[in-house]
Amino acid sequence: MLILGIETSCDETGIALYDSERGLLAHALHSQIAMHEEYGGVVPELASRDHIRRVLPLIRRVMRESGAAPEDLDAVAYTQGPGLAGALLVGTSVANALAFTLGIPAIGIHHLEGHLLSPLLASNPPRFPFVALLVSGGHTQLMRVAGVGEYELLGETVDDAAGEAFDKTAHLLGLGYPGGPALAQLAEAGRAGKYKLPRPMLERMHKTGNLDFSFSGLKTAVLLLVRKEAADAAAKADVAAEADAVARAGAAAGTDVAAGIDAAGKADIAASFQEAIVDVLVAKSLYALEQTGLDQLVVAGGVGANRRLRERLDRGAAEQGYAVFYPEYEFCTDNGAMIALAGALRLGAGAIGATSVVGASSLANVSEGTVGASLLANPTYAFTVKPRWDLAATGL
Ligand code: KG4
Ligand code: ZN
């Protein structure tokens, strides 16, 4: 079966063709980072308009590269949510129009399911069941994955997502958007042990068995640290008044607060922050393996590209006899390949409309409102997007 995958949930237009027997045939990605950079973050309206410009040319490109014709397609899989409504509508509209024209199913995929299954694209894929650590800009979750559509939530963030914490800290240090990779790069030159930052919800983990995360306290601790270091630096330069001004400006705008800190100082802060977040992610992931009795960990989502996280997870897992699986670097962040793969697995696994709901998870109801068995028999191609797609929002 040949499946076209379309991802337009945020600031990347990702297109891919996946063959259930031959694997990934072609994929293409257009990143809008340069466009959003001057605004310091994603501008939703601009994102939608850019997806419109890119989506069909990119589909033509992957078709040409793989030598496939539209008539060869068996289904079109698209990201139905969660994400930016306008951006999601672009991929959703194109996917349904294409499927309607060809008389094939259009399969709405949960963006996180795409991330979750993305390590299966690698040459050495994990086998079900496994524990998955999902760390993206919007989510931080630990899941027990028994099969396609069988996701049990083990723990999740109660406030900021890990990627969000990286991005906000990067912003505080005056780094550009997206902040995660820039902060990670700066951290390479810093001393991780220089500052002691909190490891939220870690101390009592073994007592409570709690696998939830919290990163907002860490964010506040970094803000206070940056303010203090900026004030100290200014005082050293004998401009104490400026120290106050720096602190006040930072408090008001949440930015430029680190202006007085030199490059080495910023690198130390970046490294100390990264180490704190990595400590928490590693400890909780290993504890999730212990709790579930599973021995494979899958890491997915943008923060999964973080080198230090990989280093520490690899070491920690090896010590305890676990195996860790990552998507290829290019499939860590948003892409069309993971959506095409998820579509193929849902079709091939016959799992459409058959998601088993275990625990409270934003992934637990991925099939609700998506293709459904009836759409295969009698396609209506009526479509909606789900900018917020989780259990609470659907009242389940
Ligand atoms: O999965 P993703 O591409 O998009 C979402 O679905 O959110 O993840 C993007 C997030 C951003 O917060 C970005 O800063 C972070 O992943 N990220 C990183 C790294 N690369 C991307 N965070 C830390 N270190 C990295 N190397
Ligand atoms: Zn993502």
- Closest atom of ligand 1 relative to the 170 alpha carbon: 14
Residues in Cβ contact with 149 at an 8 Å cutoff, skipping those fewer than 6 apart: 113, 346, 349, 351, 354, 355, 356, 366, 367
pTM of the predicted structure, to 2 decimals: 0.85
Per-residue b or e along 302-320, where b marks 16 or more CB atoms closer than 10 Å to that residue's CB: bbbbbebbeebbeebbeee
- Token pair in block for residue 329: 């670097």
Residue of 117, 23, 95 whose CA lies nearest to 338: 117
**Using CA positions, which residue lies closest to atom 20 of ligand 1?**
181
Q: What is the pLDDT of residue 220?
A: 93
Q: Is 327 in the pocket of ligand 1 (CB under 6 A)?
A: no
Provide the 8-state DSSP code for 2. Answer: E
pLDDT band at 197 (very low <50, low <70, confident <90, very high): very high
| Local structure of 28: helix, strand or coil | strand
Q: How far is the CA of 251 from the centre of ligand 2 (A)?
A: 30
Return the pLDDT at 40: 83
Average pLDDT value for residue range 322-338: 94
**Cα–Cα separations (whole angstroms), residue 249 to 139, 167, 171, 172, 390:** 30, 20, 14, 12, 37
- Determine whether the shortest distance from the Cβ of 304 to ligand 1 is under 6 A: no
Q: How far is the CA of 262 from the centre of ligand 1 (A)?
A: 26
Contact 137 CB / ligand 1 (< 6 Å):
yes
User: Is the CB of residue 178 below 6 angstroms from any atom belonging to ligand 1?
Assistant: yes
Q: Is 180 in the pocket of ligand 1 (CB under 6 A)?
A: yes
At 359 the pLDDT is 31
Separation of 207 CA from ligand 1 center, angstroms? 31
DSSP letter for each residue of 303-330: GGG-HHHHHHHHHHHHHTT-EEE---GG
Within 8 A by CB and 6+ apart from 126, the residues are 119, 120, 296, 298, 323, 325
Q: What average pLDDT does the segment 102-131 reach?
A: 93
**Residue 303 Cβ contacting ligand 1 at under 6 Å:** yes
**pLDDT tens per residue, range 43-67:** 999 999 999 999 999 999 999 999 9
